[in-house]
Amino acid sequence: MMNKRLIKLSFNFFILMLFVLVGCANDQKETANQNDQEEATRILTDAVGNQVEVPEQPERVIASYLEDHLVALGITPVAQWSVADGTSVQDYLQEYLEGVDTIPHDLPLEAVSSFNPDLIIMESQASVDNGTYEQYDRIAPTYIVGEQTNDDWRESLRRIAEVFDLESEAEDVLNDYSEKATEAADKINQAIGDQSVAAIWLVGGQFYIVGKNVSSGAVLYEDLAITTPRVVEEISSTATANWSDISLEALADLDADHLFLINSDNEESTELFDDPLWKNIPAVQNNNVYQYGADTAWLYAGAIANEQIIDAILSSIIE
């Protein structure tokens, strides 16, 4: 009897230990799988040749002034670009970035570190020309998009999509935008034909005019195929920035039938609009001036910004 009882107890103990060992093995396997997922990375070469070990699924991304591309790809950054002690942000994106903390535009190392990012994306080499690349890279893997893409928002979007392994999603964004632009171009052509359009920016009492191949100029003259005024053609041939300063005297020769005015001065420079030179512009004479604030998308570029610019153009000229 005693032997049978011992045998039975030993058998039960064996079965119990077997369950414990199997359970431990499963726990270890699950833990290993979780660690593999957490530590999974890809090696990418950025625009300046850095070999960057990028997390497979970054969750805390800082990509200052590149938020338009992140939003277009369905990614919310852990912090967003700002100036003036965080009081000024890219307003046109705030419906997507509401509640996202701000970070100074020059990305102080302490501020970057405080967000504990797992990926940092820089717009260009110029962002780290002061020798800070290694310091950022010690905080988190740091990927540079590249200066050559600064005037090509499509290429910037594709580069950033590659970082997140979202290339097909980027092409969907681009195809949707192209379709929207084509439809808008047809409507605008039917409404104004070969009439010309220009966009100017008033800030600090100084006028600036957008180039034909960059920023909102690329939307107007390339994506929507609207006629380019002669003054814009001339300034664009030697422009070194997206927006070039232009005197009131030069504006008087602006042969634009429609004028989009981005007014950062609000009521501060109203005397400029009483000047006879301003009133000599065809668009002003024909009451075809459409005014927008600096909080709108006109000063930016990207799928989100450009779609909002197209909506503004349609609502101004057609609706």
Domain of residue 226, CATH code: 3.40.50.1980
242 in the same domain as 127 = no
Tell me the DSSP string of 41-110: EEEEE-TTS-EEEEESS--SEE-TT-HHHHHHTT---SEEEEBTTTTB--GGGHHHHTTPEEEETT--HH
User: Locate tokens 């950062």: which residue?
Assistant: 264
Residue 310 has pLDDT above 90, yes or no: yes
Residue 183, domain member (yes or no): no
Residue 178, domain member (yes or no): no
Residue 283, domain member (yes or no): yes
Residue 266 has pLDDT above 90, yes or no: no
pLDDT bin (cut points 50, 70, 90) of residue 24 is low
Top pLDDT among 16 and 285 is at 285
What is the pTM for the complete model shown? 0.86
pLDDT, residue 60, reads 98
148 in the same domain as 238 = no
CB atoms within 10 A of CB 202: 20
Mean pLDDT over the full length of the chain: 89
Residue 268 has pLDDT above 90, yes or no: no
What mean pLDDT comes out for the span 90-106?
Answer: 97
Report the interhelical angle of 153-163 vs 303-317 (nearest 10°). 140
Residue 149, domain member (yes or no): yes
227 in the same domain as 120 = no
Q: Which of 7-11, 47-51, 251-255, 258-262 has the lowest mean pLDDT?
A: 7-11
What mean pLDDT comes out for the span 258-286?
Answer: 91
Give 113-147 pLDDT, tens digit per residue: 999 999 999 999 888 888 899 999 999 999 999 86
208 in the same domain as 157 = no
**Domain carrying residue 51:** 41-166
Domain count, the chain: 2
pLDDT bin (cut points 50, 70, 90) of residue 273 is very high
Residue 16, domain member (yes or no): no
